[in-house]
Structures are given as C-alpha cells and as structure tokens.
C-alpha cells in the first residue's frame, strides 16, 4: 500500500488509478500529512465488501449461538427433505 499527498494524486490521477488497478493495492491519500482517504480499484473494493459481509454473517451466527438460537444439523436436513418432497 502506498501513501501519496493529495496534491500529487491530483496531478497524476490517471496514473495513480492505473497503478491501483494493475497492482490491486490501495493508495492512502494524505492532506496536511494525515491520511484522509483511500483510493482502491473496483475489484479489490468489491472483494473487501464481500469479505466484510461474510464476517458480519459469521458474527451474527456467533451471537445467535451464544443466545441459544441454533438448530441442529439433523433438524435442518429433516426440514429440507420435507420441503423437497412436498414439491
């Protein structure tokens, strides 16, 4: 991951975008020496979003288990067989 000041990103935006696209690495953009934004290619961004969505589902599942909200595998497959045979 590289870090560039906003002035350099403005001056070379097309090049910065192409580098991000080619490498799949994000670019941290700074203003007054502090990170303020990230430029990321679309494929990496979408992969990150999918990963975060999956992690949210895992966290929800862990909360459900901790609260006793779970169903056994046998019950799930029994219900699936019943639903499939009803069609």
Q: How far is CA 56 from CA 28, 40, 67, in A?
A: 25, 22, 17
* Coil vs helix vs strand at 26: coil
- End-to-end CA distance of the chain: give it in Å, rounded: 52
Q: What is the DSSP letter of 20?
A: H
CATH number of 2-40: 3.40.1620.10
For 2-43, write each residue's pLDDT tens digit.
Answer: 999 999 999 999 999 999 999 999 999 999 999 999 999 999
Domain boundaries, the chain: 2-40, 44-86
Helix or strand (DSSP H, E) at 29: strand 27-31
pTM of the model: 0.68
For 47-80, write each residue's pLDDT tens digit.
Answer: 999 999 999 999 999 999 999 999 999 999 999 9
């Amino acid at each position: 991951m590289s870090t560039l000041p906003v002035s350099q990103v403005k001056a070379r935006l097309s090049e910065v975008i192409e580098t991000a696209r080619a490498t799949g690495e994000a670019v941290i953009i700074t203003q007054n020496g502090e990170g303020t934004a990230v430029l990321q290619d679309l494929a990496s961004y979408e992969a990150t979003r999918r990963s975060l969505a999956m992690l949210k589902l895992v966290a929800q599942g862990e909360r459900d288990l901790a609260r006793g909200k779970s169903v056994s595998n046998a019950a799930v497959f029994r219900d699936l067989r019943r639903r499939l045979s009803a069609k």
